[in-house]
Amino acid sequence: MTLKELEERMMAGERDAEAPKVMVVIPCLDEAAHIADLIARLMPSAERLDMPILVMDGGSSDGTITLVEGIAARNPRVRLVENPRRIQSAAVNLAVVLHGDAFDYFIRIDAHGGYPEDYCDRLVQEAVRTGADSVVVAMKTEGGVPFQQAAALAQNSPLGNGGSKHRAGANGRWIDHGHHALMSVASFRAVGGYDESFSHNEDAELDHRLNVAGFHIWMTDRTVMTYYPRSTPGALFRQYLAYGRGRARNVVKHRSIPKIRQMIPLMIAPAVAGALLAVVSVAAIVPVLLWAAACLGYGAWLALVRRQRHGLLAGVSAMIMHLAWSAGFWLQLVTPQRATGRTAAR
């Protein structure tokens, strides 16, 4: 069956024995406000592709479990599975352990993300067309409340993402890392699945092992997912602190060297700490002043030139992300969190 035939049959809701078998995996924790709408949005493609939707719940206490149980009672495609280890990496590993034998691919869906209605269809088409072991997507970031909108502005800009290709988006191409979307069960199992000792940055860690093992990652430009950033400064700081720790763990585990776009913000936390020496020499505060001027100046440019309503606040959001990421990285090196070292997707 050709790709064109596959696309036509998928769009018509027809199922062919030659079509790849795919399951959707949604790691979930306290998502009562979003989970029902997300499942409803995925259901048309689940029908077209004959996919089960596995909601891997990590112990929700906000009514998520009751909601999903009700949906599953009405629609057998939806299955609620307990994820006792709670974190996302463990959820996907467990789904592959329990159900992977019956499927060629799985699609990882973030419970708090936004997806176009043909998202899953496009991913499967790209996997068939390219022969990729993993299909990743770019993220566009959007916000609701003012601080969230400002964080989205920052994350969509080079100031906030350092030019990361899976943030900025680009033409379809082979890549070493991107936002996880679709992956073949065989390649996922071949490298041992996610390392469950990573609560953050587990996708980049897995992509490293996929690359080393000779598997191929395709960045598609045929679809995209929407990400909603944290809505308060404190939540954003904690998130990027954890991201920084995760990146440091990757560097240590694989003895890799951070990319240039990562090395620059690494200097922020030491510079802020060094500013305390301003009582001895005013020069100690100069690096921090230059960094603040760059961030706030970029925010002012967004506000005044690009007419972005929350531009000035975007500069502040970028400073929070830089400082937290840098602090998390150095904290992980100085006070490493204990790792379990588990990979369990066999």
Q: What is the pLDDT of residues 159-203, one digit of tens each?
A: 877 666 655 556 899 999 999 999 999 999 999 999 999 888 899
Q: What is the mean pLDDT of residues 313-341?
A: 87
Q: Which of 63, 50, 233, 265 is nearest to 162 (CA)?
A: 265
Token digits of residue 270: 């030491």
Residue type, 95: A
CATH number assigned to the domain with residue range 3-152+161-229, chosen from the 4 options 3.40.50.300, 3.30.9.10, 1.10.260.40, 3.90.550.10:
3.90.550.10
pLDDT band at 67 (very low <50, low <70, confident <90, very high): very high
Which tops the pLDDT comparison, 162 or 240? 240
Residues 145 and 231 sit within 8 Å (Cβ to Cβ): yes
Domain regions of the chain by residue span: 3-152+161-229, 237-334
* pLDDT score of 164: 66
Say whether 215 sits in a helix, a strand or coil: coil
pLDDT digits (tens, 9 = 90+) for 289-310: 999 999 999 999 999 998 998 9
Farthest CA pair distance, the chain = 74
Token pair 């467990």 in the structure block, residue: 94
Q: CA 252, CA 260: separation in Å to the nearest integer?
A: 17
Q: What is the pTM of this model?
A: 0.85
**Could you tell me the pLDDT band of residue 344, with boundaries at 50, 70 and 90?**
very low
User: Which parts of 218-259 fold into alpha helices (H)?
Assistant: 233-254
Residue 212 and residue 127 in contact, taking contact as beta carbons nearer than 8 Å: no
Are 42 and 53 in contact by the 8 Å Cβ rule? The answer is: yes
Contacts of 183 (CB under 8 A, 6+ apart): 105, 106, 108, 133, 134, 135
* Ordered strands of the 105-108 beta sheet: 78-82, 53-57, 22-28, 105-108, 179-184, 134-141, 217-227, 173-175
Q: How far is CA 60 from CA 15, 86, 95, 107, in A?
A: 35, 9, 17, 22
**What are the tokens at 120?**
């899953």
Mean pLDDT taken over the chain: 89
**Paired tokens of 138:** 């770019």
Establish how many alpha carbons lie within 13 A of residue 289's alpha carbon, considering only the half-sphere containing its beta carbon. Answer: 8
| Nearest of 203, 143, 183, 139 to residue 165 by alpha carbon | 139
Neighbouring C-beta atoms of residue 84, cutoff 10 Å? 8
- 197-230 residue pLDDT tens: 988 889 999 999 999 999 999 999 999 999 889 9
**CB-CB contact of 143 with 228 (8 Å):** yes
Alpha-carbon Rg of the chain, whole angstroms? 21
Band (pLDDT 50/70/90 cuts) for residue 341 is very low
Average the pLDDT over each of 14-18, 60-64, 121-125, 331-335 and give the range with the smallest value: 14-18
Beta bridge mates, 105: 22, 184
Contacts 24+ apart (CB under 8 A), 302-305: 302/153, 302/157
